[in-house]
Amino acid sequence: MVRRGGIIAGLVVVLSGLVAVPASAATPAFVVANGVTQPIHAFADAVRETVWVDIGLDLDGDGVGDRVATDLIRPATTEPVPVIIDASPYYTTSGRGNESERKSYDSAGLPLKFPLFYDNYFVPRGYAVALVDFSGSSRSTGCMDTGGRSEVASGKAVVDWLNGRATGYSAASGGSPVTASWSTGAAAMIGKSWDGSITQGVAATGVDGLRPIAAISSWYDWFRSDGVSFRSFGTPTSLASGFENANARSRCAAVRSEMTAGAPGNGDYTAMWQQRDYVRNAANVRAAVFSVNGRADLNVKAVNWGQWLDAVPASVPRKLWLSQTGHIDPFDFRRATWVATLHRWFDRWLLDVPNGIENEPKVSVERAVDQWSDTADWPPAGTRSRTLYPVAGSVAGVGTLRTTPGTSTSSFTDNGSGTPSRYIASPGATSARRVVYSTGTLATDLRVAGVSRVTVAATPSTSTAHLSAYLVDYGPATARGSSGEGIRTLATESCWGENRPGDDACYRDTVATTAAVDAQVIARGWADLANYASLSTPRTLTPGTRYTMTFRLSTTDWTVPAGHRLALVIAGNDSSMTTTPGQLPRVTIGLAETSVRIPLLGTVPAARSGPAPEVVRIQPDPVPGRLDG
C-alpha cells in the first residue's frame, strides 16, 4: 500500500455496527460493518473528472511530455480516499469485459460511462476509480510500445501523481496543473490481459498496489516460446497498430521501427524482449499480489503466472485463483465469490481493514467444473520435482513413463498439420506424427503443481525442426467446453453496485459450458530445436545429428485422479499455435537422454504393461485470440 506521509487520516473504521456520524461532521471516507466497507456515498453525487498525467517521456517527439488521459470518479467527500486503477488500450476500441463496454462522455466532456463494475461497486464504499488510457491510445498523447517503458510509465506516473510525485494537467496539451489532494496515496492496479500485464510491469518498478488477471509477465512468452514464433499473434508492432490513436500513427514511426527490429521472426530473444520481461525485476515487487488465470488460456499462456509468482519475493502477500476456463475474467466465471473476495482484498490492503484475508488459504483451484478446492500455499506443501523417463514398449512410438531411463529410439514425422487433439488421440496405437509414454493406472490422486521441463534428445532429418510436448491426463471426465473459452452468456442479468444515468451496474449472467472427454492436456510447450544452445543465437542444424534441448511446459495445478494415467506426448510442429519450420523433418528421439521433470505431490505408480486407455471423446483445439482485441 502507498501512503502519503505514512498515515491515512480522517477515516472511520468500525468492526461491528455502523458508526453514527453527527450531522455537523464531515462524511467519513468509509465505514466498516460486518467486516467490510459499506455503501455510504451516493453514487449519483460522485465527482467525475479527467486529468492528463505527464509520464516523463516524449516518445512522439513533439517537444512536450507525453500525457495519459486519466478518467476519475470518486465519492463526494472531503476526506481522502484510496484509488483503484485500470490502465488499458481498449477503452475506445474493443472495450472491456464480456459485454465490451467502452468509455463515454457527457455534453460537458466529463467521463460518463466507466466500463466494468468497479466504479458502481467501490465508489459508494469510499474508493476512487481511475481508468487510464495507455500512452498513444484513445485520448492520450505519446506512443504505444506493446509492454515497453511508455506503457509501464502510463500506470506508474498515475500512481506517482496520486502521491504528489508527478504532474497532472487539465488538458491533453497546455492546461493548468491539477493535484490529487483528495487521494490518500494508496493505490491498487487491476486488470485482465494487456491491462494486467502493465500492472505487473508497474509492480516490478517497486510501486505498491497490484492485482492482475491473466497477465503477461514476459512479452516474449506471449509472442514466442523457446525460439519458436506463435502463428496468429503477429508482432509487437502489428498489435500496437490496432489500438494506437491518430497522433501515435503519425508521430511514432521510430517506436514502431524499434519494435520491428527487436522482434525477428525466427523467435530469437533480443534486448527488446528483455526490456519487456517483468520477471527479471519481480524482486522489486512490494505490492500484495492477487493472480487469476485460466488453465485453458492459450492467449496469455499459463507459463506467465508461474514464472511471475516464483520470482515475486516470498514476503509479498499473495492470492492465486486457477480456473479451467480460457481467457476469461473471474467476474464471468465465479462472480459472487469474486466480488466478495476482491472487496475484502481491497479493504485489507488499501484501507487497513483487519479482516484476516492474508491468513486464509492462498490458492483456490477449479478441480472440476464449478467445483473449487483451496490450498494453504503455492506451491502446495510436499511438492517435489521428479524426473520421469520415456521407455519404449512393444508398440512402436508407445511406451511407459518410469523413474529410470530407457534405451533405444522412437521416431515421428512432422507433416506440418498436427494439432494437440490429433497428437493425443489413440494413445495405445502407433502414430506417424508423435510418440506417447504414460504411467500406469494411478491408485491414488497425483497432483502436478508448477512448471514442468522436458529434455528431448532429437535427431532431425532436415536443417529445421520444431518440437511440441504435452502432459496429458488420460481418463473420463466432464470438462469445461472449448467454445466460448468455457462459458456461455445468458439473457438474464445481475447487478453489482449502484446505477446512475449513463452507467448501470448490471451485467449478463454466464454459465459454464461442459463436454465429456477422455483426455485433457494439462500442460504444453513449444520449441525451435535450432535454439537448443541459446535463445538469442540459433544454430544451423545438421541433418542426422543429435541435439539435446530443454524447454518449459506451461504452469499448472492439476490433479490426475486415481484410475487415470499421466502421459507425456512429444511431437513436431503444433499447427494450431506455432509457425511451420522451413523444412519438415522426421525426428528420432533418443530415449536414454530424454526426460521430463515434473513438480509432483503424490506417488507415481511402478511402470507396468497394460491395455491403453480408451480415448474416444476429445475436444476440438481451442483457438487463441489477440489479447482482448
Could you read off the pLDDT of 551-588 as tens digits, one per residue? 999 999 999 999 999 999 999 999 999 999 999 999 99
pLDDT of the residue at 629: 59
- Retrieve residue 490's grid coordinates: 445468458
Q: What average pLDDT does the segment 201-223 reach?
A: 84
Query: Taking phi first (over 0 means left), then psi (-120 to 50 degrees means alpha), and beta for anything else, what does residue 430 get?
Result: beta
On whether the CB atoms of residues 147 and 73 are closer than 8 A, the answer is no
> Is residue 606 very low, low, confident or very high in pLDDT (cuts 50, 70, 90)?
confident
143 Cβ partners below 8 Å, 6+ apart? 59, 60, 66, 135, 136, 150, 244, 248, 251, 252, 255
In the prediction, which pLDDT does 456 show?
A: 98
Mean pLDDT over 14-41 rounds to 66
**In whole angstroms, what separates CA 83 from the centre of its chain?**
22
Q: What is the pLDDT of residue 588?
A: 98
Output the average pLDDT for the chain.
Answer: 92
DSSP 509-568: EEEE-EEEEEEEEEEEEEEEGGGSS-SSS--PPPTT--EEEEEE---EEEEE-TT-EEEE
DSSP string, 30-88: --EETTEE---S-GGG-EEEEEEEE-S--TT-SSS--EEEEEEEE-S-SS-EEEEEEEE
CA R_g for the chain? 26
615 near 424, Cβ under 8 Å?
yes
Q: How far apart are CA 130 and CA 50, in angstroms?
A: 9
Q: How far apart are the first and last CA of the chain?
A: 31
Strand partners, 63: none
What is the Cα–Cα distance from 41 to 32, expressed in whole angstroms? Answer: 13
Here the cell at position 303 is 507459463
Spatial separation of the C-alpha atoms in residues 306 and 451, rounded to whole Å: 7
Tell me: the pLDDT tens digits for 309-348?
999 999 999 999 999 999 999 999 999 999 999 999 999 9
Is the pLDDT assigned to residue 265 strictly greater than 50? yes
Please give the domain boundaries of the chain with CATH numbers for all domains.
4-317+327-333 (3.40.50.1820), 384-482+518-601 (2.60.120.260)
Mean pLDDT of 422-439: 96
- Cell numbers placing 378: 503455492
Q: What is the mean pLDDT of residues 165-173?
A: 97
Query: How many Cβ atoms are within 10 Å of 37's Cβ, its own excluded?
Result: 24
Query: Is residue 240 pLDDT above 80, yes or no?
Result: yes
Q: Name the DSSP class of 618.
A: -
Share of the chain above pLDDT 70, in %: 93
Q: What pLDDT shows up at residue 296?
A: 92
pLDDT at 1 over 60: no
Closest-CA residue to 115 (of 455, 439, 503) = 503
pLDDT at 2 over 90: no
Q: What is the pLDDT of residue 609?
A: 59
Q: Among all residues, which ones are annotated catalytic? A: 193, 297, 327
Average pLDDT of the residues in 474-481: 95
pLDDT band at 6 (very low <50, low <70, confident <90, very high): very low
pLDDT-based confidence at residue 622 (cuts at 50, 70, 90): confident
Whether residue 12 is predicted with pLDDT greater than 50 in this model: the reply is: no
